A and B are shown apart, each in its own frame.
Chain A
């Protein structure tokens, strides 16, 4: 879902930076506060970040004959909410744009906005609304799935806003459908795999840690 380096016009690159920066800044502060509050949070933040690292390194083949990778933001958003997820995603996206030529510095703001902010925000909303009615794992599955899918919808929209098929709203929508055709179809099955992995890991995490059970409101 990373928009490639240089593939957004300057004005859009700046605009997405402007949207992403305050959220990432707040997430950084919140992360620092969590670590300071309780030592045990440190290991859970590490595990949430590690999940993003692993999953966004897996380029999975999909039915369309192309490959794409999951986002891995599900665990972080379930444990700590969207702001911390934004901060952790930024670290991963920086690693990939600097060392892998994957994504880019000019498109970092846009990529953080899609994968780190809006995707997780929707995932979190779904988690919050589903959680009272089901168990932790099913809620996490839904959150990770929605966060993944939303990320790619946002990426398509970002590209469409910068490259409308024709001036005006209908051109943007046309383009968005074009880009969704590239991303979303590849991403549908990958989102499901991502949800299953996140659900599996959250089960283990909640088993191994009392403080996580308390945080998540799970009675063991």
Chain B
């Protein structure tokens, strides 16, 4: 439990700290790298488009959270099924 608290705390401290110390646009680094390609090689044209992209930012975040949910579900199931918790609740 302490470990998770520590990790969660670290995350929160990071988020709070970063939101005060910078005034960035919080854009994705992947996109920023794409822009850098434009500046290094201005005449390069991406030659292939994604077959399908989410129609809006909301749908995209839906699919991202779905991805996290699938992962979280599996980890939760695995940990919940683990013996230490079960045996802990069985002992009076």
**Beta-carbon nearest neighbor of A189 in chain B:** B14
* B24 and A64 contacting across the interface, CB-CB below 8 Å: yes
> What is the interface of chain B, defined by CB distance below 8 A to chain A?
3-4, 6-7, 10-11, 14-15, 18-19, 21-34, 36-37, 40-41, 44, 46-54, 60, 63-65, 67-68, 70-75, 78-79, 81-85
Which listed residue, B18, B70, B83, touches A62 by the CB 8 Å rule?
Answer: B18
A35 contacts the other chain (CB 8 A): no
Does B82 contact A209, Cβ atoms closer than 8 Å? yes
Closest to A52 in B: B71
Q: Given contacts A1-B30, A65-B24, is CB(A101)–CB(B10) below 8 Å?
A: no
Chain A residue with minimal CB distance to B35? A182
> Which residues of the other chain, B, contact A9 by a CB distance below 8 angstroms?
44, 47
Contacts of B32 in A (CB 8 A): 66, 182
For B78, list chain A residues within 8 Å (CB): 43, 46-47, 50, 205, 208
Q: Does A17 contact B (CB under 8 A)?
A: no
A20-28, A114-122, A191-199: which lies at the B interface?
Answer: A191-199
Q: Do residues B50 and A5 form an inter-chain contact, with CB atoms below 8 A?
A: yes
Whole-angstrom distance between the alpha carbons of A67 and B3 in the complex? Answer: 25
Q: How far is the CB of B80 from chain A (nearest CB, A)?
A: 10
**Across the interface, which residues of B come within 8 angstroms of A50, CB to CB?**
70-75, 78
- Give a binary string over A190-214; 1 marks a CB under 8 Å from any B CB, 0 the rest: 0011001101110111011100000
Q: Do B82 and A61 touch across chains, with their CB atoms under 8 A apart?
A: no
- A2, A65, A192, A201 — most chain B CB neighbours (10 Å): A65
Task: Kindly list 11 other residue pairs between chains A and B, CB separation below 8 angstroms, not including A43-B81, A52-B71, A200-B6.
Answer: A5-B46, A6-B48, A7-B46, A46-B74, A47-B78, A51-B75, A66-B25, A98-B52, A101-B52, A101-B53, A104-B50
A residues engaging B (CB < 8 A)?
A: 1-7, 9-10, 43, 46-47, 49-68, 92, 95-106, 137, 155, 159, 163-165, 175, 178-179, 182-183, 186-187, 189, 192-193, 196-197, 199-201, 203-205, 207-209
Q: Which of B7, B11, B23 has the most C-beta atoms of chain A within 10 angstroms of its own C-beta?
A: B7
Contact status B79-A204, CB under 8 Å: yes
A66-B26, A66-B28, A67-B26 known; A100-B33 Cβ under 8 A: no
Q: Which residue of A lies closest to B41 (CB)?
A: A163
Question: Known contacts being A58-B68, A63-B21, is A165 close to B40, with CB within 8 Å?
Answer: yes
A5 pairs with B48, CB closer than 8 A: yes
Cβ 8 A contact of A104, one of B6, B11, B48, B71: B48
A21 to B23, CA, bound (A): 41
> How far in angstroms is the closest Cβ of chain B from A197?
5
Q: Which 6 A-B pairs give the minimum distances between C-beta atoms?
A: A65-B24, A208-B82, A53-B71, A6-B46, A101-B53, A54-B71
